[in-house]
Structure 1
Amino acid sequence: MVSNFRGIKPLLLATLLLVLFACSKAPTPYTWPLPDYVPKPVVPKDNPMTEESVLLGKTLFFDTALSGNNTLSCSSCHAPEYAFAEPKPVSIGAAGDALNRNALALVNVAYNATFTWAHNNLESIEKQIMIPLFNEHPIEMGVTGNEQQILARLNTPVYQQLFEQAYSTKAPTMDAVVKALANYVRSLVSFNSAFDDYAYAGNDDALTAQQIEGLNLFFSERTECFHCHGGVNFTQSSKHSFQAFAVQPFHNTGLYNEDGKGSYPASDMGLYSVSHNKKDMGKFRAPTLRNIALTAPYMHDGSIGSLEEVVEFYARGGNKANELNPYRSPFIKGFSLSESEKAALVAFLNSLTDEKFLKTHNRHKN
Structure 2
Amino acid sequence: MKQWVLLSALTCLGSACGDRPAPGPERYQWRLPAGFPTPRVPADNPMTEAKVQLGRRLFYDKRLSLNGTQACASCHEQARAFTDGRTHGLGSTGELHRRNAQGLANIAYATSYTWANPNLTSLELQALTPLFGKEPVELGFADKEEELLARLRADPDLAARFAEAFPEEAEPVSLASITRALASFERTLLSGNSPYDQYLYGGKVNALSPAAKRGMELFFSERLECNHCHSGFNFQDAAIHEGSSEAVLPFHNTGLYNEDGAGAYPATDPGLIELTGRPEDMGSFRASSLRNVALTAPYMHDGSIATLSEVLDHYAAGGRARMLDSSQTSPLRSGFVRGFTLTPEEKADMLAFLEALTDTEFLTDPRFADPALHP
Q: Return the TM-score normalized by structure 1.
A: 0.91
Match for residue 353 of structure 2? 348
Match for residue 166 of structure 1? 165
Aligned-pair Cα RMSD in Å: 1.5
- Alignment partners' CA distance in 2, 1:69 and 1:35: 38
Query: What do residues 62-118 of structure 1 show as CA deviations (whole Å, max 9, x unaligned)?
Result: 011001111111001001110000100111111111112100000101001111111
Contact 2:216 2:353 in 1 (8 A): yes
Contact 2:78 2:369 in 1 (8 A): no
Contact 1:80 1:361 in 2 (8 A): no
Query: What do residues 188-212 of structure 1 show as CA deviations (whole Å, max 9, x unaligned)?
Result: 0111111011112222111000000
Query: What do residues 113-165 of structure 1 show as CA deviations (whole Å, max 9, x unaligned)?
Result: 11111111221111111111111012111111222222222121111111011
SS at match of 1:239: coil
Query: What do residues 275-294 of structure 1 show as CA deviations (whole Å, max 9, x unaligned)?
Result: 11111110011110001111
- Alignment partners' CA distance in 1, 2:34 and 2:208: 21
Match for residue 275 of structure 2? 274
Query: What do residues 281-332 of structure 1 show as CA deviations (whole Å, max 9, x unaligned)?
Result: 1001111000111111100011111111111111111111731522100111
Query: What do residues 203-233 of structure 1 show as CA deviations (whole Å, max 9, x unaligned)?
Result: 2111000000100010011111001100000
Question: Counterpart amino acid of 2:249?
Answer: Q
Match for residue 209 of structure 1? 210
Rg (Cα) greater in structure? 2
Asked if 1:325 is matched to 2:327, the reply is no
> 1:253 Cα deviation (Å)?
0.4
SS at match of 1:217: helix
> 1:267 Cα deviation (Å)?
0.8
- Alignment partners' CA distance in 2, 1:348 and 1:247: 27
- Alignment partners' CA distance in 1, 2:338 and 2:366: 38
> 1:349 Cα deviation (Å)?
0.5
Match for residue 62 of structure 1? 60
Q: Return the TM-score normalized by structure 2.
A: 0.88
Match for residue 146 of structure 1? 144
Q: Aligned residue pairs: how many?
A: 343
- Alignment partners' CA distance in 2, 1:171 and 1:277: 42
- Alignment partners' CA distance in 1, 2:249 and 2:203: 31
Contact 1:90 1:98 in 2 (8 A): yes
Question: Counterpart amino acid of 1:337?
Answer: L
Which residue among 25, 28, 47 is the counterpart of 1:30? 28
Match for residue 20 of structure 1? none
Contact 1:63 1:73 in 2 (8 A): yes
- Alignment partners' CA distance in 1, 2:368 and 2:240: 29
Question: Counterpart amino acid of 1:341?
Answer: E
Match for residue 128 of structure 2? 130
> 1:35 Cα deviation (Å)?
3.0
- Alignment partners' CA distance in 1, 2:330 and 2:363: 40
- Alignment partners' CA distance in 1, 2:365 and 2:88: 26
Query: What do residues 341-362 of structure 1 show as CA deviations (whole Å, max 9, x unaligned)?
Result: 1111011011111111112048
Match for residue 5 of structure 1? none
Match for residue 231 of structure 1? 232
SS at match of 1:28: coil
Alignment gaps of 5+ in structure 2: 1-21
Contact 1:81 1:362 in 2 (8 A): no
